[in-house]
Structure 1
Amino acid sequence: MVSVKNSQHGDISVGTVLSWTRSYTDDEIRDFLALTGGASDEVPEHLPYLLVVAPLTKLGGDLDYLSGRMDWTVSRPVRRDEAVTAELEVTRLEPTEGMTKIAFDARLVVGDEVVSRGRSKGFIVGA
């Protein structure tokens, strides 16, 4: 079985599921809105989409992953009081010289409900 070692997640192979959960305080949401030029005096009911997908980008960063393609569907917005769990399931792993091609099935989960799903393929730098 082909696998790559990762300092954050250990051995990764086809079928490995990486996950990370994140919730946000009202102050963090206000800081994000101020940084992006939004009105930061009132915290919205739903999280800005970039905060919802941030746990996925954290996992990608752990891997030094560069995406070549992503496809997503969103089933509902995420309320600010909900924790978001990102899950990346490795569906392809192909070492080549200087990099490893990799593909994922991805999910964003709130409780037991998948609120967004998609696929991504790209490569891991230097793996």
Structure 2
Amino acid sequence: MSSNTIKNAVHGDISVGTVLVWTKRYTEQDLRDFHALRGTAVDPLPEELPYLLVLAPLTKLGGDLDYLSQKMDWTVSRPVRRNEEITAELEVTRLEPTEGMTKIAFDARVRCGDDVVITGRSKGFIVSA
């Protein structure tokens, strides 16, 4: 393992160029639960997913790393419909292990099939244990 590689319990060895991936398909019950938590139960359910649910798979990947973001920028190209499979990808573009933390940056994508529906960048750090 090089000095520009970190180990992660979920994703293994991570270095610049590593792509972290997680796929999710929200069910109607997931949407009902989301709206109930917000206190906005709706009937019938909207066809499009709330923006927060579309971004959630990216934040799940960051959570796997105990990542603390300092900056995030996103661009949305189209809405996502319920029952569409969402694949989140974080590609590591910077990794600088230092004493006590690792500076890290990502290019981010959310795909629905071949469509890239969200692109973005994020930078921040991982606190070393």
Q: Same fold (TM over 0.5)?
A: yes
Q: How far 1:39 sits from its partner (Å)?
A: 2.8
Ranges in structure 2 where 5+ consecutive residues have no aligned partner:
none
- CA shift digits 1:52-94 (9 cap, x unpaired): 1110011000000000000110000000020110000000000
Runs of 4+ more than 6 Å apart: none
- Please, what is the CA RMSD of the aligned residues? 1.0
1:31/1:40 contact within 8 Å kept: no
Question: Given the alignment of the two structures, is residue 72 of structure 1 paired with residue 82 of structure 2, yes or no?
Answer: no
Identity over the aligned pairs, expressed in percent? 74
Do structure 1's residue 100 and structure 2's residue 105 form an aligned pair?
Answer: no
What is the aligned partner in structure 2 of residue 10 from structure 1?
12
Task: Give the length in aligned residue pairs.
Answer: 127
Question: Match of 2:108, as an amino acid?
Answer: A
Gaps of 5+ in 1: none
In structure 1, how many angstroms separate the alpha carbons of the residues matched to 2:13 and 2:55? 24
SS at match of 1:22: strand
Cα offset, 1:99, TM superposition: 0.6
Q: In the alignment, residue 48 of structure 1 is paired with which amino acid?
A: P
The alignment's TM-score, normalised by the length of structure 2, stands at 0.95
**TM-score, normalised via structure 1 length:** 0.96
In structure 2, the residue corresponding to 1:123 is in which secondary structure?
A: strand
